[in-house]
Amino acid sequence: MTKKQTMTGSEIIVEVLAEKGVETIFGYSGGAILPTYDAVFQYNEKHNNAMPLIVPANEQGAGFMASGYSRATGKPGIVMVTSGPGATNTVTPVRDAMADSIPMIVICGQVNRSSIGSDAFQEAPITSVMGSVAKHVFLVTDEDKLAATMRAAFEISTSGRPGPVVVDIPKDIQTASIDFDTSSTLNINAYRERVQSIVNNRLSDEDCERFFDCLKASSRPLIYSGGGTIAADATEELRNFSTRLQVPVTTTLMGIGAIDTQSQLSLQMLGMHGTAFANYAVEDCDFIIALGSRFDDRVAAVPKQFAPKAKAVAHFDIDASEIDKVKQTDWSHVGLLKDALNDLLDYADKKDISCDFGEWNNELQELKSKHRLDFDRGSDLIQPQMVLDEINQLTKGEAIVSTGVGQHQMWSAQYFDFKEPRQWLTSGSMGTMGFGLPAAIGAQFAHPDKIVIDVDGDGSIRMNLGDMETVTTYDLPIKILLLNNAGDGMVKQWQKLYYGGRLSASDKTLHKKDFVASAKSDGFEYAERLIEKNQLKTTVKEFIECKKAAFLEVVIDPDAMVFPMVGPGMSYAQMITGDHIESRGEDPEVEPIDPKAMF
């Protein structure tokens, strides 16, 4: 039986958040959201701070904290901000979450209903602004539908392909007296039917037979796993499938951790800055099995030349629009990945299917050995890879690592090990500088007992430097590693390779920021700068073993580059491995970039 009691709109918002198991809110206050902030305060007074509200330096930081929390847990991150600039400051995190399929609920205050459209103080047309970047946007105009709308936001955000949902709530609805319906829902039946049809779409025996026909015809199959595998909570099924059939796995940037990077069947990351051996495996394979991945331009810049020897391509996804969007498939399935992989394994057991890919796996072990990652170990300057490798040896694949965007992001993807999913947090599709620090904060709130490391660059960390203070305000033991090469390293790399070495707007050697002094001013008791290579091991050990927040700036070789590299618009056959990673042949000549090529 439906129970009703009269509450304010703000109290209803908080009640629904509690009903959905929300444990942490990230946000910044302001006039149009004040009633709900007050309701959160009163709720926490009554419930022993059960839903703490974490205040960042700005609303973008709140969005990335919620994203980090979500990426580290799989639960929707919660953002609560005021109207106008408070809401528009979350546009980038919302788009970032949408691009990487991250569930998030953004609750925005809005001016009173009677003032909407009048250019009132701190008014912004959030439904229009967010409509093209979020999974869905609600503007609540009927107070009696507030609770149902909040519940629908959670349902839409977390079902199907996950994504951010924005709920725009006028201030007068927050203050209105409303009969709270504890079970009300919105009529979103058309959406539910589409999601349910995907859930119900299981593999038939005929589907399984056709898949295994492709596998049996193959001698060099390769699983190409993306972030969708992690979003689907299907990493255990992936590992079972790979192990049972002995099919090797390479992952996208977003798919890192889907398989233990130290597994013999793992080829680590493929793509523009993937390992040479993963990219060579793609060149050699004869059957591509794509799981929750979308053949994006950082993986398949030239789709027709991606896996050129593949006789068949199989594609599993929850989003039908991804099938055949970039790469034509020979077999595909739109449904829940967990169920699909289990169905295939059940069929394999029922039909007693076994495959022998021993020769292929032996070839791949040779590739991994011969074309392993490496760098200039003899340089007198500190190489960034050396720093990350040292940290990796100490953390043993168990740390949660977030990053900004740029060279440090790619080095981290290459040199860190991850035993489990949701340990690797990075802005993939959007490539948003400034993501790393707030994402680490969100992850540390999600996992207070785990080591959380933000690997950042001097360009990226400047974007949300204000949240250094947030770390110490909440006494979080986050480790912030700043790899300082005095510039926007990835931009400089492209300028050196493709733009005649003209460092237009990317060289920061004249900038005056003293990052260590900044960290100390924000309350970091451990804040050090590492310049001497011979002090690296000792300093890194102190940094990682510090029990409280720690900040380490490492002055690295300003000319260090990320290799391997598949240039824009190039195939894997044109991969540059650099001076320290063995290539199959001569590295191709670097040609001037096509101005139309994407960065």
What string of DSSP letters covers 333-399? EES-HHHHHHHHHHHHHHTT-----HHHHHHHHHHHHHT-----TT-SSPPHHHHHHHHHHHHTT-S
- Residue 518: give its domain's CATH number: 3.40.50.970
Per-residue pLDDT tens over the stretch 201-234: 999 999 999 999 999 999 999 999 999 999 999 9
Residues 416 and 365 in one domain: no
Q: Retrieve residue 94's tokens.
A: 């919302």
**Percent helix / strand / coil, the chain, rounded to 5:** 40, 15, 40
Residues 523 and 427 in one domain: yes
Q: Into how many domains does the chain fold? A: 3
Asked if residue 564 has a cis previous peptide bond (ω within 30° of 0), the answer is yes
Residues 142 and 291 in one domain: no
Residues 241 and 272 in one domain: yes
pLDDT the model gives residue 1: 45
User: Residue written as tokens 């959406």?
Assistant: 191
Residues 190 and 212 in one domain: no
Residues 545 and 491 in one domain: yes
**Mean local confidence (pLDDT), 247-276:** 98
Contact 488, 406 (CB under 8 A): yes
Residues 407 and 517 in one domain: yes
Distance CA 217, CA 208 (A): 14
pLDDT exceeds 90 at position 4: no
Residues 542 and 509 in one domain: yes
Q: From residue 596, give the alpha-carbon distance in Å to each of 326, 568, 569, 593.
A: 19, 10, 10, 8
Cβ burial of 161 (10 Å; 0-12, 13-18, 19+) is buried
Task: Tell me the residue range of the domain where 24 lies.
Answer: 4-197
pLDDT exceeds 60 at position 508: yes
pLDDT the model gives residue 592: 65
Question: Under DSSP, is residue 559 helix (H, G, I), strand (E, B) or coil?
Answer: coil
CA angle in degrees (0–180, nearest 5) for 493-370-425: 50
271 falls within a domain: yes
14 falls within a domain: yes
**Mean local confidence (pLDDT), 163-188:** 97
589 falls within a domain: no
Of 445, 446, 424, give the one whose Cα is nearest residue 435. Answer: 424
295 falls within a domain: yes
Average pLDDT along the chain:
97
**Mean local confidence (pLDDT), 371-395:** 98
Contact 108, 33 (CB under 8 A): yes
Per-residue pLDDT tens over the stretch 116-167: 999 999 999 999 999 999 999 999 999 999 999 999 999 999 999 999 999 9
Q: From residue 170, give the alpha-carbon distance in Å to each of 70, 174, 277, 495, 564.
A: 26, 7, 54, 48, 51
Residues 64 and 103 in one domain: yes
Instruction: Tell me the backbone φ, ψ of residue 466, rounded to 5 degrees.
Output: -60, -25
477 falls within a domain: yes
Residues 43 and 181 in one domain: yes
Per-residue pLDDT tens over the stretch 85-118: 999 999 999 999 999 999 999 999 999 999 999 9
Q: Retrieve residue 526's tokens.
A: 């451990």
pLDDT the model gives residue 596: 60
Confidence of residue 2 (pLDDT cuts 50, 70, 90): low
Contact 179, 119 (CB under 8 A): no
Task: Write out the catalytic residue numbers.
Answer: 59, 121-122, 171, 490
**Mean local confidence (pLDDT), 360-389:** 98
- Residue 316: give its domain's CATH number: 3.40.50.1220
599 falls within a domain: no
**Mean local confidence (pLDDT), 297-322:** 97
Confidence of residue 199 (pLDDT cuts 50, 70, 90): very high
Confidence of residue 589 (pLDDT cuts 50, 70, 90): confident
100 falls within a domain: yes
Distance CA 33, CA 126 (A): 14
Contacting residues for 45 by C-beta, under 8 A, at least 6 apart: none
Distance CA 166, CA 172 (A): 18
Per-residue pLDDT tens over the stretch 278-297: 999 999 999 999 999 999 99
76 falls within a domain: yes
pLDDT exceeds 70 at position 599: no
Contact 111, 438 (CB under 8 A): no
Residues 176 and 124 in one domain: yes
Q: Is the pTM of this model over 0.75?
A: yes
Contact 344, 299 (CB under 8 A): no
**Mean local confidence (pLDDT), 442-470:** 98
Residues 184 and 213 in one domain: no
